[in-house]
């Protein structure tokens, strides 16, 4: 986001991380900064990974069946729910943030980001109300554990999945599982805030009121790779050896 607000993951140098995070937050609010992270050229296609993403990609190659980097988002939704509006809100969120539609492939032995065009996010649906409250809660726990423990592959599709569980007329649970390569703690705050805003707009049939993002995460990754190389990168790496 910026990649659902994703901050740089394990980027070299704490001061550099803090400065970049501040830029990404300003980008999330739609505020451009002179001399900041530029938008990449249109039609550029494949983009290199950020340093943090590359680390996670490498770990995934070593243990492709691991779910260690799955990040679960489990939301209890109380009150009347318009399922179609929720689907549209999720789709709008994915369309808004390139990171949520990014997969990772190896080209010539090196990993690259592949940003797909916006498309509907598959939303699995389970109606547990007929089971009764106690059995429904037990089945919900089983489904959440299953989603969280099942590995998310980095290709060919973006590493995220979603499920909506109905426990009753006015109680649903939304489960979204996202790989850490495209999501982190700050991302969660943005995810919750924007999903709520988009859902309210979809229910009211209002146009999206969120400002356009100044940059996306792929823009940051390209900027980071261009900026941190040669002697500058060597100096940063030497501080953490």
Nearest to 195 by CA among 187, 126, 212: 187
Residue 16 has pLDDT above 60, yes or no: no
The per-residue pLDDT for 11 is: 32
Band of pLDDT at residue 25, cut at 50, 70 and 90: low
| Distance (Å, whole) CA 240 – CA 65 | 30
Choice among 14-18, 85-89, 145-149 with the minimum mean pLDDT: 14-18
In a domain, 6, yes or no: no
Residue 226: give the domain boundaries: 14-238
Q: What is the pLDDT of residues 127-156, one digit of tens each?
A: 999 999 999 999 999 999 999 999 999 999
Band of pLDDT at residue 22, cut at 50, 70 and 90: low
The total of structural domains in the chain comes to 1
In a domain, 5, yes or no: no
In a domain, 7, yes or no: no
Band of pLDDT at residue 34, cut at 50, 70 and 90: very low
The H or E element that residue 56 is part of is: helix 51-62
Residue 69 has pLDDT above 60, yes or no: yes
The per-residue pLDDT for 204 is: 95
Residue 185 has pLDDT above 90, yes or no: no
CATH number at residue 215: 3.30.559.10
Residues 24, 219 contacting (CB under 8 angstroms): no
Q: What is the pLDDT of residues 90-124, one digit of tens each?
A: 999 999 999 999 999 999 888 999 999 999 999 99
Average pLDDT of the residues of the chain: 84
In a domain, 67, yes or no: yes
Nearest to 103 by CA among 93, 112, 94, 92: 112
Residue with the larger pLDDT of the pair 8 and 226: 226
């Amino acid at each position: 986001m910026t990649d659902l607000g994703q901050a740089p993951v394990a980027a070299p140098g704490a001061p550099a991380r803090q400065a970049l995070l501040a830029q990404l937050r300003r980008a999330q609010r739609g505020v451009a900064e002179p001399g900041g992270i530029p938008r990449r050229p249109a039609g550029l296609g494949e983009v290199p990974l950020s340093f943090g993403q590359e680390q996670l990609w490498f770990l995934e190659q070593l243990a492709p069946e691991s779910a260690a980097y799955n990040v679960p988002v489990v939301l209890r939704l109380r009150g009347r729910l318009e399922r179609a509006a929720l689907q549209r809100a999720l789709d709008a969120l994915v369309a808004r943030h390139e990171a949520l539609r990014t997969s990772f492939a190896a080209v010539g032995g090196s990993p690259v980001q592949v940003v797909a065009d916006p498309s509907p996010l598959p939303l699995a649906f389970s109606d547990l109300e007929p089971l009764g409250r106690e059995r429904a809660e037990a089945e919900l726990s089983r489904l959440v554990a299953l989603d969280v423990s099942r590995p998310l592959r980095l290709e060919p599709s973006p590493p995220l999945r979603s499920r909506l569980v109905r426990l009753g007329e006015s109680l649903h649970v939304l489960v979204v599982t996202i790989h850490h390569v495209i999501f982190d703690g700050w991302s969660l705050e943005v995810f919750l805030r924007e999903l709520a805003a988009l859902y309210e707009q979809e229910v009211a049939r209002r146009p999206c009121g969120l400002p356009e993002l100044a940059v996306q995460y792929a823009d940051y990754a390209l900027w980071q790779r261009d900026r941190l190389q040669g002697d500058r990168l060597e100096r940063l790496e030497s501080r953490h050896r």
